[in-house]
Amino acid sequence: MSLPPEIESKPEKERTTPQQLFAFLDQLGIPHKTVAHPPLYTVEQAREWNDKIDGLPCKNLFLKDKKDKLWLVVMPAEKRADLGKIKERVGTAPLSFGKPELLLEVLGLTPGAVNPFAVLNDAAKRVTMVLDSDMMQSEWVNYHPLHNEASTTIRSADLLKFLQALDYQPLIVDCG
C-alpha cells in the first residue's frame, strides 16, 4: 500500500501531522479512537488517564546500539524494560537510549511523545521496530498520535498492519 500523497511528497525534515496519520489509518481500514488529554511525558503522569482510555497503555523506547543501529521498542507501560534481554533477543550490540537530537532527526519527535506511528517520519527506514509479545496479546493498545496531548487506541493486530504497510517487519519478543 502506498502512502497518501501528502505524506509521500513531504520533505524529509517535515513532520507528519496527526490528521495525516488518521487519514492513513482510514486508508488502511484501521479503526481508531483518539482521546485528548494534557501533555503526558512519562508513564507515571499517564496513570491517571489509564482508566479513561480503553486499551492497554503502552510506552515506547527509542534506543541506539553500539554500532549506531536504531531501535524503537513498544511495550506495555507497566512492564519493566530489560535492555540486556532485549539486546539478546534481537541479536544486537549493547543498547542505550537515543539522544533527543537523534530522535528529532529520525522520527520528528521530542522525548515524551515517542510512539510507533512516528515511523511515518522515518523516510530512510533507519529504525528497527520491536514489539513486546505481551503487548501483542492485548486486543486494544494506546499510543500518542505523533504528539503527547492525546492517546489513540487501535487493535494490536492493526499496529502490525500499519507497520507492514510501511514496509517494516517488526520483531516480536518478550522485552522484560
Buried b (16+ CB within 10 A) or exposed e, 10-49: beeeeebbbebbbebbeeeebebebeebeebeeeeebeee
Instruction: Give the pLDDT confidence of 95-121 residue by residue, as tens digits.
Output: 999 999 999 999 999 999 999 999 999
Q: What is the pLDDT of residue 2?
A: 43
Number of domains in the chain: 1
pTM over 0.85: yes
Q: What is the pLDDT of residue 45?
A: 83
Instruction: Give the pLDDT confidence of 83-92 residue by residue, as tens digits.
Output: 999 999 999 9
Residue 97 parent element (H or E): strand 95-97
41, pLDDT greater than 90: no
Q: How many residues does the chain have?
A: 176
| Domain boundaries, position 21 | 5-173
Q: What is the pLDDT of residue 12?
A: 45
44, pLDDT greater than 90: no
Residue 155 parent element (H or E): strand 150-155
Least confident of 12-16, 120-124, 172-176: 12-16
CATH number at residue 9: 3.90.960.10
Q: How confident is the model at residue 133 (pLDDT cuts 50, 70, 90)?
A: very high
